[in-house]
Amino acid sequence: MIHTGDCLDILPRVRADSIDAVITSPPFGMPLDRVLRAVRRVLVDEGTCWLLLDGTPVLAEGWTVGNVTDVGHHERLHRLHPTDQPPRYVAAPLDLTRDHRVVCDRFAPMPEALVTHCVTTSTCLGDLVLDPFCGIGTTGRICSEWGRSFLGIEIDPLRVALAEAYIARSVARVVV
Ligand SMILES: C[S@@+](CC[C@H](N)C(=O)[O-])C[C@H]1O[C@@H](n2cnc3c(N)ncnc32)[C@H](O)[C@@H]1O
């Protein structure tokens, strides 16, 4: 399911402790401290938050950095955990010999192989994954292919329409 709107308005309406993993690439200029506070409320304690970012987020107390990987074009994949408790899954290291590298594109989608790594190493069948900056729905598509539930939030209605179409097409590919 994808909601159209500002994630800072919509996230407070999502049930607390309902999300197993967050996989997202926030746009430049977003107040990450506010986003991470809103994400922390909805993420289960043993969950994982993956952030693909140009730079390093300033983390409020409580977050633990699991791992940071340079994936090209100055972008780094951050694996964060909301407590210092052991996460539900211990993610295998990212294999950069596969096609994980960021490419430039009008819609700035996350590389599919990178999202697949996040989905398969930090969630299991039926888990609920959130992307609060869902764009054209890469995280949603990979979730549908791997049997994970998906909640997306996106401010741009054009991108929401594209994401819904891409996710529907990938569901059809899995089902047929
Ligand atoms: C880097 S793109 C995300 C791409 C996405 N991960 C994908 O693979 O398609 C960032 C997205 O955040 C959206 N966005 C910007 N501000 C937002 C906000 N306040 N709430 C929700 N979405 C927002 C932009 O429209 C853009 O689609």
102 pocket-lining for ligand 1 (C-beta < 6 Å): no
Q: Which atom of ligand 1 is nearest to the CA of 7?
A: 20
Q: Whose CA is nearest to atom 8 of ligand 1?
A: 109
135: CA distance to ligand 1 center in Å? 5
Long-range CB contacts (< 8 A, 24+ apart) of 40-43? 40/82, 41/11, 41/12, 41/16, 42/11, 42/14, 42/15, 42/16, 42/17, 42/18, 42/130, 43/17, 43/19, 43/82, 43/130
| pLDDT tens-digit series, residues 84-127 | 777 777 667 776 666 555 555 666 788 899 999 999 999 999 99
Number of H helices, E strands in the chain: 5, 7
pTM of the model: 0.92
7 pocket-lining for ligand 1 (C-beta < 6 Å): yes
Assess whether pLDDT exceeds 60 at residue 17: yes
